[in-house]
Structure 1
Amino acid sequence: MIIREWRGRAARSNPDAYPDHFRSKVTTELGALPGFLGAHLFRQYLGGTIEFLVLTEWQSMDAIRAFAGEDAGKAIVEAEGVSALVDFDSRVQHYETIDEI
């Protein structure tokens, strides 16, 4: 299994826009993709912003490339997600699961 990690930041005055987008659009679209196994959304408050951490689970890097394209490290952020954030990572990280408890 591969974990894909991405982070975005929103203003504290706009705490619900990205989670709403994530629940209504991101999870629905990802859920339809072959090789997609699940997603987790986390948040932490950092001064004047809220940072969201998104971890998605995939069967393989091939499944990720089918979603993201040949440059699998490029973040895929839809316009609605961009408008909910003040900034976000343009690149993602991938981690191979080596143990699970």
Structure 2
Amino acid sequence: MIARIWRASATADNAARYREHFTSAVLPELRTVDGFLDAVLLERDRGTDVEIQVITRWSSLDVIGSFAGADVTAANVAPDAVAVLTEFDSTVTHHTVTAESN
């Protein structure tokens, strides 16, 4: 299993807008991809802004390629998301899940 991790930040108001984008647009799209397992949206209040972290889990790196394209390290950030974020990573990291609790 592979965890794909991406980071961004937004103002408090726009973090709520990103959360809506994530639940109404990103998750439905991800659920159509065979091999997508689950996703978590994390937020951390930093006083002046909100740090956002998205962790998706996939059955394999090959499956991620079917979603992300040839460069699996490139972040897929939709224009609607770009519009509400103050900054975001243009790349993602991938980690092999070696243990988990059930």
Q: Which string of whole-angstrom CA distances, capped at 9 and with x for unpartnered residues, describes residues 30-59 of structure 1?
A: 000011001000000113110111000000
Q: Which residue of 2 aligns with 1:67?
A: 67
* RMSD of equivalent CA atoms: 0.9
SS at match of 2:15: coil
Alignment TM-score, normalising by the size of structure 1: 0.95
Question: Which 5+ residue runs of structure 1 have no aligned equivalent?
Answer: none
Indicate the percent of aligned positions where both proteins have the same amino acid: 41
Q: How does 1:1-101 map to 2 (within 5 A)?
A: 1-101=1-101
Per the TM alignment, residue 14 of structure 1 is displaced from its structure 2 partner at its CA by 2.5
Structure 2 unaligned regions, length at least 5: none
Equivalent residues, number: 101
Structure 1 segments, 4+ long, off by >4 Å, are none
Amino acid at match of 2:97: T
After TM superposition, the score normalised by the length of structure 2 is 0.94
Distance in 2 (CA, whole Å) between partners of 1:66 and 1:25 is: 18
